[in-house]
Amino acid sequence: MATVLLIKASSSSVGSKQTMATQGYSKPPFQHMVQQYVDPAVAGWFRHVDTDRSGLIDAKELNSALSLGGWISFSVESTTAMIRMFNKDGTGNLTLEEFQHLVNYLNNMRYNFMQLDQDRSGRLDFGEIHRALHLSGHNVDFLQLSKLLHKLDRQKNNSLALDGYIELCLFLGQFAKFSKNMTLLNNSA
């Protein structure tokens, strides 16, 4: 994967030499931005659903874009969680680059799912899910996992398809982030 380094002068670099000197710069300051390579197909999905040409997509547009890419339709809660996870500027929408990061994440999740699906059923059973969570450092007890599985198992057969597995991982990721923030908050009090 190619990475392109864009160097862009920040708006604060425009000004007199006196301003730059008082800021401690001998040369204009630069803002470094690393822009990820964007797959042309992914850019096409994004542009197709960005009907207002804002350069941003919301949860509904995200679901449409993922459908164009061959992904199943996720719940509104899941697409909103994806946006929260990958939206770095707090707009509640995704830029093209953020969308590319999300697609990379989903492709990695698909690969992991296929590696975990030992019987090649296209679903992960309770045991496969429990082992996967344990190996990834999530200490979820059987009762908690059973409740989560029941909620995410659309076919109600004690197993998860890829979309349910991704939703489970999104939930656990948000829970871990919340727990970390609560720990930091409690430690600073």
State the CATH number of the domain containing residue 189.
1.10.238.10
Given 73, 89, 113, the domain boundary residue is 113
pLDDT of 174? 66
Residues 100 and 60 reside in one and the same domain: yes
How many domains does the chain contain in total? Answer: 3
Whether 36 contacts 101, CB under 8 Å: yes
Tell me the three state secondary structure of residue 160: strand
Is a pLDDT exceeding 90 seen at residue 141? no
Residues 139 and 79 reside in one and the same domain: no
DSSP-derived secondary structure for 108-138: HHHHHHHHH-TT-SSSEEHHHHHHHHHHTT-
Residues 98 and 126 reside in one and the same domain: no
Side chain identity at residue 95, one-letter code: T
pLDDT of 175? 62
Q: How confident is the model at residue 8 (pLDDT cuts 50, 70, 90)?
A: very low
Choice between 11 and 107, residue whose per-residue pLDDT is larger: 107
Residues 99 and 124 reside in one and the same domain: no
Distance separating alpha carbons of residues 9 and 30, to the nearest angstrom: 5
User: Packing angle between helix 96-116 and helix 162-188, nearest 10 degrees?
Assistant: 110
Residues 6+ apart with CB under 8 A from 27: 20
Is a pLDDT exceeding 80 seen at residue 21? no
Distance separating alpha carbons of residues 84 and 78, to the nearest angstrom: 10
Residues 46 and 109 reside in one and the same domain: yes
Q: Which domain holds residue 92?
A: 38-113
Instruction: Please state whether beta strands 124-125 and 3-9 pair in parallel, antiparallel, or not at all (unpaired).
Output: unpaired
* Residue 46 token pair: 């994004």
